[in-house]
Homo-oligomer: A and B are copies of this chain.
């Protein structure tokens, strides 16, 4: 951020009065521009004993398999965002069962959340950001070709929890150190 989005003048970084963190503050109108973590909402779409994965057609991790998920939009509930991403990435309709995993990724200021969902039918196909869509049983999951640790962990927990048919919500942190500068 270099310029104030309210008045167009330069911003500087300083700790505002009464605050304890450095913020972008306008040098002219003094508006404080807060920056906050973003939410990625997605589904774990299940059909019988299989889960629906999407092969990404975009970076990062193009060519790797993911669960349908994406940035939550203003005006959306988290479950609505998860279902919208499932429609956009897999042209699939699903029904939310329950929140399942919540991940903090503080090194990139993101919070992921996945909902267990039942796929309404077998009518699915790749959306614009997807190369392939496919249902996988547990022994077919391409574990070495999953796009992100949050996907691996969500699937791992799912197949483990499915043995007992109990799916407690899991709140997890994925903490990486920033590279030294």
Chain A positions within 8 Å of B, measured between CB atoms, are 1-11, 18, 21, 33-39, 71-80, 98-99, 102, 104, 106-107, 109, 111, 113, 115, 128, 168-169, 171, 173, 175
Tell me whether chain A's interface is mostly helix, strand or loop, or mixed. loop
Copies in the complex: 2
What would 6 more interface pairs be, CB under 8 Å, given A2-B5, A3-B5, A18-B128? A3-B6, A36-B38, A78-B111, A79-B171, A99-B102, A168-B168
Q: Which residues of B contact A106 (CB under 8 A)?
A: 75-77, 80
The chain B residue sitting closest to A129, CB to CB, is: B18
Contact (Cβ within 8 A) A34 B71: yes
Which residue from B6, B72, B168, B169 sits with its C-beta under 8 Å from A36?
B72
B3 touches A72 (CB 8 A): no
Minimum-distance CB pairs A-B, first 7: A169-B169, A77-B104, A3-B8, A99-B171, A74-B109, A1-B5, A77-B173
Query: Can you list 14 A-B pairs with a CB-CB distance of less than 8 A?
Result: A1-B6, A3-B4, A3-B8, A8-B9, A21-B73, A34-B71, A37-B72, A75-B106, A77-B173, A78-B104, A78-B111, A79-B173, A99-B171, A169-B171
